Amino acid sequence: MSRLEYIAPCHFGLEAVLKREIADLGWEVTAVDDGRVTFAGDEFTAAEANVNLRTAERILLKAGEFTAADFEALFDETAKIPWEELLPVDAKFWVAKVASVRSALFSPSDIQSVMKKAIVERMKTRYRRNWFDEDGPTYPLRVSIKKDVVTVGLDTSGAALHKRGYRVAPVIAPISETLAAALIALTPWHPDRILADPFCGSGTIPIEAAMIARRIAPGLKRNFLAEQWTTILPEASFEEARKKARSLVRACPPETDIQGYDIDGRAVRFARQNAEAAGVADCIHFQARDVKDFRHSGKYGFLVTNPPYGERLLDGEKLKDLYGTVGEIYGKLDSWSMYLISSCRETEQYIGRKADKNRKIYNGMIQTYVYQYLGPKPPRRRKST
């Protein structure tokens, strides 16, 4: 088997979460940078990573990395990559996205043009032809330039990995599936403990938790761009990855208690539809309920939630009252933990309690914090004799 390197972009601030997830799946992490984790695998890894990773935004096959401080170097170094081993003669290829940080090269359109020309020139020589119809499989490239170091990746995913395929009924400004999964991963939650979201919206956080409880791989019900490829990856690798993932799915554990509430009855109906599409409706209790009415008699549970902020921001007084209510209901939940993501800088002040920990995360261009209020650990269960 070939040793290949892959790049998994993620939300800024969640690199450690993704690194742990990759390591837990058995792959070697080779580098961690802002907003991405690089890891080693083989030709089957592209399929397995796309199907199984919950917190990555996409999977890129690393085509090359080099230093270039001017366009001449960019052309020459791009042309040194063995594109004939990566792209078939009929490939449709282009530089789909460029991100440049603290580098001499910063014009995306110019970078795209120069790299395209360099690839074409390389392929002209190797394939011994002067024209390419580009009417075959699609191979988009994504390029990152940081301090003049150019990293080139082939996008194996296509649509971003947060598009699991179950969100058939969205609401305004929902949390992304990958961010919801990462929020859960930041907690010590386990399917035998309570998890509730009092602002569930379209149900993303409860659905991601239920998929974890049932061991449903996040990419099990969608397709990926690299399934069309005729080079690099084994033809049946994606179907093999799905077959393996399906074999791990289990029924909802009887002790699982996952709840989603929202004041908007229409959102709750949408959440139920999404849960049905995800195959986890039997794992979640959804109900239309105002946050002020939230109650639970269980111990050692988790509030994991994404209350209004940013695009969904209320005016100052309403936001203060709402977050104050969150603080009040949390104060009545004996032994519970709370993980809350918000861009509101006064979150702790409004809740009336300083978080035990907080973590900065960029939700798109919005700087947010995950405020972590840590309850006590449950007592260890006695082993049966």
> For 316-333, how does the pLDDT look when each residue is reduced to its tens digit (9 = 90+)?
788 999 999 999 999 999
| Tens-digit pLDDT profile for residues 224-272 | 999 999 999 999 999 999 999 999 999 999 999 999 999 999 999 999 9
pLDDT at 365 over 90: no
Is 29 domain-assigned? yes
One-letter identity of residue 237: S
What is the total count of domains within the chain? 2
Is 247 domain-assigned? yes
Q: What is the Cα–Cα distance from 59 to 44, expressed in whole angstroms?
A: 13
What pTM does this model have?
A: 0.95
Q: Which domain holds residue 294?
A: 177-373
Structure tokens at 23: 């390591």
Is 92 domain-assigned? yes
Is 168 domain-assigned? no
- The pLDDT of residue 174: 84
pLDDT at 98 over 90: yes
- The pLDDT of residue 315: 67
Looking at residue 115, the DSSP 8-state letter turns out to be: H
SS3 270: helix
Say if residue 322 is in the same domain as residue 182: yes
Say if residue 230 is in the same domain as residue 148: no
More confident residue, 305 or 168: 305
- The pLDDT of residue 172: 77
Contact 245, 271 (CB under 8 A): no
Pairing of strands 357-363, 36-41: unpaired
Which CATH number is 236's domain given?
A: 3.40.50.150
Q: What's the longest Cα–Cα distance across the chain?
A: 76
Say if residue 120 is in the same domain as residue 206: no
Q: What is the Cα–Cα distance from 197 to 194, expressed in whole angstroms?
A: 10
Say if residue 118 is in the same domain as residue 226: no
Say if residue 181 is in the same domain as residue 295: yes
Structure tokens at 369: 């914090």
What is the pLDDT confidence band of residue 385, given thresholds at 50, 70 and 90? very low
Say if residue 182 is in the same domain as residue 151: no
Contact 43, 237 (CB under 8 A): yes
Contact 316, 281 (CB under 8 A): no
Percent of the chain whose pLDDT exceeds 70: 97
Contact 225, 93 (CB under 8 A): no
Give strand pairing partners of 341: 370
Q: State in Å, rounded, how far the first CA of the chain is from the last one.
A: 46
Which of 142-151, 195-204, 303-312 is predicted least confidently?
303-312
- The pLDDT of residue 380: 82
Give strand pairing partners of 23: none
- The pLDDT of residue 314: 61
